[in-house]
Amino acid sequence: MRLLSLTALVMIAFAANSVLNRMAVHGAGWGPAFTGVVRLSSGAAVLLVMALGTKGWRGMRMLPSVAGAGVATLFLYIYGFSIASGLIDAGVGALTLFGMVQITMFGGALVLREPISLWRWIGAGLAFAGLAVLLAPGSGGQHLDPLGFGLMALAGVGWGLYSLNGRRAGDPLVASALNFALAVPLALIWLGVARDAGQGAAWGWGPALASGAITSGLGYALWYRVLPQIPASLAAIAQLSVPILAALGGAVLLAETPTLRFWIAAALVLGGIALSLRKNRPKAR
C-alpha cells in the first residue's frame, strides 16, 4: 500500500508538471529555454541542499556511466517538453509524452528480458486503446501541432530512458541532485543560443519555480526511489494515468474543458492500469 501511495503521488507530480509548464510558456509567454533553465536550476538547488544535508560531500557519488546517461536523457526530456508545452494542450501533451514513455519502457523491458504477465499485456493494450480514442480524428478530436507533437514525443523517449536509467542509479536523492545540477550547463548553452530570456509576464516565475523545485526536483527523486521496486513494464503502464490527471488540471486551471471522448478514454486508460496490477494465478498441479 505504501509503494502504491508513493507511485500515485509521483504521478500527480508529473501531471502538475504538464500544467505548470504550459502556464509558464503558453500562459505567461516565457521562452522555453529560460523556463528550462529556471526549472533545472531550482530543482538542482533544492535537491543539492537535501542531498548534502543527509549524505555530505562524500556521499555525492555516482557511476560516471549512470550519471552521463541520466544527464543526457534528462536534458533531452526538458528540451522537448519545454518547447512543446507552449504548442499543445496540457492533457494532450501529457498523453503524447507518456505514450512514448510507454513504448520506450516496454521496449526496455523486452531488451532486459523482464517477464511481462498476460494481464500486464492486456492492460497495456486497453490503455493504448484509450489513447487512440482520445486522439482519433473526427468529431471532438484534438488537432495536434506537428512540431509540438514531435518535440513532445522526443521528450517522451528521453523520459523513458531516464526512468530506465533510474533503476541502476543507486541513491535516488543523490542521483537526482547530480542529474539536475549537471544538466544546468547544457540548459544555459541552450539559453545562450535561443536568447529567449527576459520575455513574458512576471507571474510566470510562480509555475516555473514550482515545477522545478517541487514537482520536478522532489517528484523525480521520489520516482527514482520507487523505480527499483517495480518492474519497468508496470512503471510504464502506471504513467499512463498522468495524461488523465493533466487534462483535469488543465480543465481547472487553464479552461481546457474535457469532452465526452476524454472521459471514455479515461475509463479505458485507468481500466488498463487496474488490469495490469492483477497477478497471474499459479497453475494447478
Give the length of the chain.
Answer: 285
Q: Which residue has the higher pLDDT, 200 or 143?
A: 200
Residue 159 and residue 232 in contact, taking contact as beta carbons nearer than 8 Å: no
Check: CB of residue 167 under 8 Å from CB of residue 228.
yes
Cell numbers describing residue 36: 528550462
Instruction: Quickly state the pLDDT bin for 120 (edges 50, 70, 90).
Output: confident
CB contact set of 56 (below 8 Å; sequence gap of 6+) = none
Cell numbers given for 117: 504477465
Domain contains 57: yes
The answer to whether residue 55 sits within a structural domain is yes
Overall pTM > 0.75: yes
Q: Which domain holds residue 132?
A: 2-276
Lowest-confidence segment of 80-89, 116-125, 135-144, 180-189 by average pLDDT: 135-144
Per-residue pLDDT band at 225 (split at 50, 70, 90): confident
Q: pLDDT at position 116, please?
A: 77
| 39-71 tens-digit pLDDT | 999 999 988 988 898 888 888 888 888 889 999
Q: Give pLDDT tens digits for 63-112.
A: 888 889 999 999 999 999 899 888 887 777 777 787 787 778 777 877 87
Nearest residue to 178 via CA among 59, 279, 54, 8: 59
Is residue 126 scored above 50 in pLDDT? yes
Burial of 2 from C-beta contacts in 10 A (0-12 / 13-18 / 19+):
exposed
| 230-285 pLDDT per residue, tens | 776 677 677 777 777 887 888 777 777 767 777 787 788 778 777 776 665 544 44
At 139 the pLDDT is 46
Number of domains in the chain: 1
8 Å CB contact between 91 and 254 = no
Write down the pLDDT at residue 193: 93
Compute the CA torsion angle 130, 131, 133, 139 (nearest 10 deg): 140
pLDDT at 285: 46
**Which segments within 62-217 are labelled E, that is strand?**
none
214, 173, 256, 167: which is closest to 10 by C-alpha? 214
What would the grid cell of residue 20 be? Answer: 505548470
Is 284 a domain residue? no
Is residue 184 one of the residues assigned to a domain? yes
Grid coordinates representing 131 are: 489513447
Instruction: Give the pLDDT of residue 143.
Output: 60
In a domain, 281, yes or no: no
Q: Which residue has the higher pLDDT, 189 or 170?
A: 189
CA atoms within a 13 Å half-sphere pointing along the CA-CB vector of 142 = 28
End-to-end CA, the chain: 31
Radius of gyration of the chain (CA): 18
Name the residue with cell 478514454: 265
3-state secondary structure of 283: coil
Task: Report CA 49 to chain centroid distance, whole Å.
Answer: 23
Domain for residue 109, yes or no?
Answer: yes
Encode pLDDT of 186-224 as tens digits: 999 999 999 887 788 999 999 999 999 898 888 878 887
Task: Look at residues 225, 224, 173, 218 and name the one whose alpha carbon lies nearest to residue 42.
Answer: 218
Domain membership flag for residue 282: no
Residue 238 maps to a domain: yes
